[in-house]
Homo-oligomer: A and B are copies of this chain.
Amino acid sequence: MARPRSAASAETKQRLSESALALFHKRGYNGTSVQDIVSAAGAPKGTFYNHFASKEALALDSVSRYFAALNVETLDSSAGGSPLGRITAHLRFLGDLAETYLDRGCLLGNFASEIPAHSNAVGEAVEECFTRWAAAIAGAIDEAREADELHATEPAVVLAGYILAGYEGAASRSKVSGSTEPMQQFLGMTLSRILV
C-alpha cells in the first residue's frame, strides 16, 4: 500500500483545489489567473504544475468538486423518503446554496456561459454534470409519478431539464441583481406549477 508521499504535498494540492474552486466560482475561468490561485492557496507558483497538469485540469477538478457538493445522490431512492419529498428537499438545498453564493451564481452555469463552446474539456465536463443532474431529477420525477405524487404528463427528462434551466437562469439573475428574489420566485413557481 502506497504511503502518502508527503503530508505537505497532499495538503498543498487540497488547498490549491479549494482556492481554485472559490476563485473560479467568483471570478470565472478567464477572470482567474493561476497566480491568483497559488497566492490564495499560499503556495509557490511553480509548484502548481507539480499538482495539476494545467489550468484547465484544475478547472475540471473544480467542476467535479462543485458537482459533488450538489448532493444529487439525495434524489436517489436509496436516500429514503418520498420521491417528491426528495425533489423538494433538493430544491430547498439548491435555494440555500444560491443564497450562500449570491454573488457567484452556480459554477456550472457560469462555466457553461463563459467557456467558448463545445468540444472543450471543461465544457464537456459541465455538460456531463448537467446530464447526470437532470437524470437524477428525472429519476425522482418518474418515481414520484409512479407514487402518484405528481401528475405532469411531459417526459420526466423534459421536466427535469426545464427545472435545471430555470435554476441556472435564476442563479445568474440573482447574481447580477444581487438579490435572492429571482431564485425565490423560481422555487415558488416550480413547486406550484411544475411539480404538480
Contacts and interface: CB of A to CB of B under 8 A. Distances in A.
A132 interface: no
A99 to B, nearest CB: 15
B118 A177 contact: yes
Contacts of A164: 169, 173
A178 to B, nearest CB: 4
Given A103-B117, A118-B178, A162-B186, A172 B109 contact: yes
A interface, size bucket: 35 or more
A2 to B, nearest CB: 18
Contact of A126 (B104, B152, B176): B176
Contacts of A177: 118, 127, 130
Interface string A24-64: 00111111000000000000000000000000000000000
Nearest to A108: B176
A93 to B, nearest CB: 18
Contacts of A103: 116-118
A28 B120 CA distance: 15
